[in-house]
Structure 1
Amino acid sequence: AMDRLKCFEGMPHPYDRKKRMVLPAALKVLRLRPERRFCKLGDLSKEFGWKHQDLIKRLEDQRKVKSAAFHKKKVASTRARADAVKKVKVSAEDQKVLEAAGFA
């Protein structure tokens, strides 16, 4: 299992373009009891001499801005496509072809 483990600082290139998922079994609020203490790995590492926490935070903020812009653009295009699909007038024979293909 440790051979397959991958650890990264921030969000590396191949994964910043992938759809993100939430694993409920890994959520801090579900795994830790309220009275338990916790820390973040970056904060702990900085206390022991890691010098890149500020850089990673800056890069992560840039990634979040780009991600929000992409999401806004994607939502707009999805909404425009849905509106266009609603406005389309399809003839009866074209409708039969679409139904046969499973698109209607």
Structure 2
Amino acid sequence: MVSGSGVCAKRIVVDARHHMLGRLSSIIAKELLNGQKVVVVRCEEICMSGGLVRQKMKYLRFLRKRMNTKPSHGPIHFRAPAKILWRTIRGMIPHKTKRGEAALARLKTYEGVPPPYDKTKRMVIPDALKYVFPSVFGIYLIAGRSCFVTFVSDAILVVVLRVLRLQPGHKYCLLGELSKEVGWNYHDTIRELEEKRKEKAKVAYERKKQLAKLRVKAEKAAEEKLGSQLEILAPIKY
């Protein structure tokens, strides 16, 4: 996230789950041009407005666009969700200039959550979310608008509070489902790997909760042991 002084955070990892494709791409494109490094994970769970059949027909029309004499010269039709997102963001950046080329080099996109990003804090972008969740908190503001916020562990139950960017009852589909329909062969592989990752994350989260309980218990025991000495330490906020 770019601050008012123009200083960027080291790297922001965005969890793309439940984000609308166009809104997500436009916000990330602007951040990249401002100098921010962005990593996007779980691209297969990006949402697109419109049903799967509609989006598939739209993509098949796109597949027919090719160079007549030498199709390998372009346009290139990506099937993987991460590459589709990358291409969408590229279309919002002047990528043929030095500035745009440098901005695009700051972007990384992945299906699933590969190491080492499975152990880093992941963020969401409220302005691009299909829904707002109770597990979204800590909103950072840039020029009066919400940009990146933290996202809680997968182990927490997600309950929809209100619709944010998609009308109630409006059809939508996931980018991973569309990619599977048009030739992406790793949908099932990514799903299996994600299930394994979530199991490991659940175990780690339970262990973290147990350690937190032990810490509270130890602090309470230390307070009882110190007794009156705490009054001496209180003025210096020890």
Question: In 1, Cα distance between the equivalents of 2:109 and 2:188?
Answer: 18
Provide the aligned length of Structure 1 versus Structure 2.
Answer: 102
How far residue 59 of structure 1 moved from its aligned partner, in angstroms, is 0.3
Question: In 2, Cα distance between the equivalents of 1:87 and 1:99?
Answer: 21
Unpaired segments of 5 or more residues in structure 2? 1-28, 30-89, 91-103, 132-163
- Corresponding residue SS for 2:226: coil
Task: Specify which structure has the higher proportion of helix.
Answer: 1
TM-score, normalised to structure 2's length? 0.39
Which residue identity does 2:129 align to in structure 1?
L
Give the aligned CA root-mean-square deviation in angstroms: 2.0
TM-score, normalised to structure 1's length? 0.83
What is the CA deviation profile of residues 36-89 of structure 1, one whole-angstrom value per residue up to 9, with x for unaligned ones?
Answer: 221111100000011000000000000000000000000000101101111111
Which residue identity does 1:43 align to in structure 2?
E
Unpaired segments of 5 or more residues in structure 1? none
How far residue 34 of structure 1 moved from its aligned partner, in angstroms, is 1.5
Residue 118 of structure 2: aligned partner: 16
Residue 55 of structure 1: aligned partner: 189
Residue 143 of structure 2: aligned partner: none
Which residue identity does 1:16 align to in structure 2?
D
Residue 109 (structure 2) pairs with residue 7 (structure 1)? yes
Which residue identity does 1:33 align to in structure 2?
Q
How far residue 15 of structure 1 moved from its aligned partner, in angstroms, is 1.2
- Corresponding residue SS for 2:169: coil
| Identity in percent | 42
Residue 70 of structure 1: aligned partner: 204
Residue 161 (structure 2) pairs with residue 25 (structure 1)? no
Change (3 A) 1:19 1:91: same
Question: In 2, Cα distance between the equivalents of 1:37 and 1:52?
Answer: 25
Task: Specify which structure has the higher proportion of strand.
Answer: 2
